[in-house]
Structure 1
Amino acid sequence: MSNASSSSNKSAVFLTGSTMRHVIIMTTTSAIGLMSIFFVDAITLFYISQLGDPSQTAAVGRAAYVLAFIIGMSVGFMIGTSAMVARAVGAGKDEAAKSYAGSSIISVVIFGIVLAGAGFLLTDWLMAMLGATGQALEYARIYLYIVLPSTPFFAIGIVTMGILRAHGDAKRSMYITLIGGIMTALLDPLFIFVFGWEVIGAAVVSAIVRVSFAVLGLYYVIGIHKAITVPEFRRYFKDLIDILKIAAPTVVTNLAAPVGAFLIARAVAEYGDAAVAGQSVVDRLIPLAFGVVFALSGAVGPIIGQNYGAMQMDRVRQALIDGLIFNWVYILIAWGLLFIAQEQIIAIYQADGNMALVIRLFCNVLAGSFLFNGMLFVSNAAYNNLGYPLLATLANWARQTLGVIPFIYFGALWGGLPGIIWGASIGAVIFGILPVVGAFWLIQKLTPNQESAADTTETAEAPAS
């Protein structure tokens, strides 16, 4: 009965049809939207670099590490919201889905304000950790002070993307950040060069774009889908607790990646400014080349969530398998293209010495490790949407600490700068395979014992035969 009612729910689009088709559509459209977020930072850094002022380029590069923490936390809250809304949609509970959406928007506004305030307080400390001094520190401080107040708007936009995905509207979810990327490409030259505002202009554009995320996202969710209701006071706290059961550990989970990147950047910094410059290029190539893989967790999640809500566990298992297949096919293609294009990339950034070395190591070695990083992301989607987000937290932090610190330490002792990259890559193999094994085990654990049910049926039918 419940399955029938769920299937009749027009919003539960993932309960029927090819799971691979759903994975491809959701991942590619989500990836375009997600990559647009990173494109905003990448194109801003490119324009700033054209000023020929290393202190301004360094300022935007260092600020990006701080903003990466904000992005990670916002995406974590989005995944928690998406999981709860998708489950409610899959179970045919439309009013509950609307209430979860409304509660999440209210919560993320509060969350964004607190996060922005913390950013203001910690700016100097974080910049000092990244070695910013003098004019570079001043530029980084100005950039962050302008961008940080837009954090609540950014968080709203990201959460509305999750709500849209939970309803199967991958296209409009993509539009939110895609339009933001286009705005950045158009406005950055105007504010940076024409107005002559330089790094201040870049910060103003970033703030404007983040506000646009919220405006467009709310229009789609409220104006088009009417997918939000403002919950009563008592219902709000119930919804928030349900959302936080997934969102809180998911936020902690998503903080692991910026921490891992920070640790690698600090190790690379031992080999001079050229190596840091190369790592800055790599940090922007990674999301542009592998944004599709980053999108897998958020894209596969609603498919798993809806089918778990309808207790269609065969489709849950198949969605996980299809996600893994998609990951490997995409990464092999992207890795091959990076390998072929590495000299062109080096030429674009006019890199030489250690800067060129780091870029080559990325194209030849580190890019291949995303075969296993993608496996981790798909497993996280299963853990989050099957109600075990702490397993995703454990897997991610193990990858970014146990899978990074000892590997880059001994890698540096063994091979210097190349050893760091090789160490980070080898760590990904071990901590990519183990979570997949755990995800299949969890699905098996949550699947009803169909053999027992079949035995009972045969016993009941035996007298009739």
Structure 2
Amino acid sequence: MTTKNKRTNQDLLNDPVSTTLKNMTIPMIFGMVLLMTFNLVDTFFVSLLGTQPLAAISFTFPITFTVISLSIGLGIGTSAVIAKTLGKGNTEDARNAATVALLITSIIVIVLSFAGYIFSDQIFTLLGAEPHLLPLIHDYMDLWFLGSVGLIGPMIGNAVLRASGDTHTPSIVMGSAGLINALLDPVFIFGFGPIPAMGIQGAALATVISWAFGLAFITYVLAFQRKLIHLSLPEWSVVKKSAGQILQIGLPAAGANMLTPIAAAVMTAIVAGYGESAVAAFGVGSRIESIACLVVLAMSMTLPPFISQNFGAGNIDRVEQAFNVSVKFVILWQVAIYAVLILISPLITSAFAKEQSVADIITLFMWILPLGYGLQGIVILTNSSFNALHKPIVALMLSIIRLFIFYVPLAYVGSLFFGLTGLFVGALLGNLFMAVVSYYLFNKQFKNPETLSSAEV
């Protein structure tokens, strides 16, 4: 495992900061555009089945995102440990960490998904799903839970590649899996030839198959093509050491990531009080948000390896420069995205809404919440940067403050006085307040660089 590969890897320690971040982020953007666009296609095909199936799949978003967020969080721990280790030049320790990361993440996700499968009715009833929607939810989630182990390879494998400076291969993995999902969706949902129409269950089957492909693809790249993981487990002392390092960052990072879907679950429960149309519209808006913020999400995956490697090498000035350059770009980019969303909002509502009540709520969502996506980007980049500096508890606390002191409470209070409009405005204000806090705290530590040395793992 090396920090530089002529074809795919960037030299994170020596190449110009802005150029390196751009070269790492662009491939990730392309991969995420394909992946998230095809996820949106998934929602579109389900919407053709009617408002109830769309509402049912909207209820699943917080739960599926919880499992995905756990995997992403453990991937953050994996990336931070490997990138810092590579920054110090310890390639064998990095390979050990990558191997152990795949093992422990598989175990944790299997346990969590099994619990979700067993307590599915209780979970979705708590979220506000009506009894008549539970069979539709089961059609989707039962298969999704059983196939969720397929998430592990792409999530952790891509984190390993990014840690070494390769964002090209992860983009191919994500894009290919997304394409497979999009191609299979209409076949399984509506039927084709000998394949029967499966409805919402077909959407879940398409997702599971795309994950299985991603797992096979990334395993081949890591184990055989790039030699970034061992084909057998290292000895117990190495497993214990690597697991401890990864979990020390990965568990708080996973906890912070899982707070987002938990907050989304609370928001969904609040929205459910306004009826199925509101839930369906909120689900569409959430998918639109994932597309609108894909550049931020891509940067949240490419900025941490850059920071971790330079942190390991002692290049603190490059860490500070990278963070501030990224924040400025994200603000300007999301302002432009907001303008585009306003222009195309009539097209979006006509594509996803079969009822006028759903269309009206989607339009309301589009006019208010995207105003705060740049602010939300600052929060996301700050959290990922603290994890990269091996300060996961700080990132976790910031997530708690954002979601349960600002975002959800302000949205709830707004809904009490002004309905759905107040809910969306309250969420926007929550992102504003938290962006100010996050930016201030991250830059404050550079006034006393000695505080950075306390983040050793």
Same fold judged by TM-score > 0.5? yes
Alignment of 1:335-374 (within 5 A): 335-350=338-353, 353-374=356-377
Letter in 2 for 1:338: L
Range with bigger deviation, 151-160 or 420-429: 151-160
**CA displacement 1:223-255 (0-9 Å, x = unmatched):** 222111332111101100011111010001001
How many residue pairs get matched? Answer: 443
CA distance in 2, matches of 1:410, 1:251: 28
User: Displacement of 1:29 after TM fit?
Assistant: 2.5
Alignment of 1:288-303 (within 5 A): 288-303=291-306
User: Displacement of 1:30 after TM fit?
Assistant: 2.5
Could you tell me which residue of structure 1 aligns to residue 333 of structure 2? 330
Letter in 2 for 1:174: S
Letter in 2 for 1:164: L
**CA displacement 1:299-321 (0-9 Å, x = unmatched):** 10000001001001110111111
Range with bigger deviation, 21-30 or 387-396: 21-30
Cα separation, partners in 2 of 1:188 and 1:405, compared to 1, 3 Å:
closer
Structure 2 residue ranges without an equivalent (≥5): 453-457
Cα separation, partners in 2 of 1:332 and 1:213, compared to 1, 3 Å:
same
Could you tell me which residue of structure 1 aligns to residue 322 of structure 2? 319
> Are 2:25 and 1:27 aligned?
yes
Q: CA RMSD in A?
A: 2.2
> Alignment partner for residue 65 of structure 1, among 62, 75, 82?
62
**CA displacement 1:126-158 (0-9 Å, x = unmatched):** 111233344421121132111112222212220
Cα separation, partners in 2 of 1:326 and 1:222, compared to 1, 3 Å:
farther
CA distance in 2, matches of 1:33, 1:124: 35
Structure 1 length as normaliser, TM-score? 0.90
Cα separation, partners in 2 of 1:36 and 1:154, compared to 1, 3 Å:
farther
Letter in 1 for 2:264: A
User: Displacement of 1:8 after TM fit?
Assistant: 8.7
> Are 2:89 and 1:92 aligned?
yes
> Are 2:120 and 1:119 aligned?
no
Structure 1 residue ranges without an equivalent (≥5): 1-5, 450-465
User: Displacement of 1:383 after TM fit?
Assistant: 0.7
**CA displacement 1:374-404 (0-9 Å, x = unmatched):** 1111111221011211111111121111112
Alignment of 1:124-273 (within 5 A): 124-193=121-190, 194=192, 195=195, 196-229=197-230, 230-273=233-276
The structure whose Rg is larger is 1
> Alignment partner for residue 308 of structure 2, among 296, 305, 309?
305
Letter in 1 for 2:25: T
> Alignment partner for residue 408 of structure 1, among 402, 406, 411?
411
Cα separation, partners in 2 of 1:234 and 1:133, compared to 1, 3 Å:
same
CA distance in 1, matches of 2:400, 2:57: 27
Is the contact between residue 55 and residue 276 of structure 2 (CA under 8 Å) also seen in structure 1?
no
Is the contact between residue 46 and residue 54 of structure 2 (CA under 8 Å) also seen in structure 1?
yes
CA distance in 1, matches of 2:62, 2:30: 21
Is the contact between residue 47 and residue 353 of structure 2 (CA under 8 Å) also seen in structure 1?
no
> Alignment partner for residue 380 of structure 2, among 365, 377, 382?
377
SS in structure 1 at match of 2:293: helix
Letter in 2 for 1:62: F
Is the contact between residue 177 and residue 210 of structure 2 (CA under 8 Å) also seen in structure 1?
yes
SS in structure 1 at match of 2:119: helix
User: Displacement of 1:110 after TM fit?
Assistant: 1.0
Alignment of 1:415-454 (within 5 A): 415-446=418-449
Range with bigger deviation, 260-269 or 378-387: 260-269
SS in structure 2 at match of 1:14: coil
Structure 2 length as normaliser, TM-score? 0.91
CA distance in 1, matches of 2:262, 2:80: 25
Range with bigger deviation, 364-373 or 133-142: 133-142
SS in structure 2 at match of 1:15: coil
Is the contact between residue 297 and residue 381 of structure 1 (CA under 8 Å) also seen in structure 2?
yes
Identical columns (%): 27
Could you tell me which residue of structure 2 aligns to residue 3 of structure 1? none
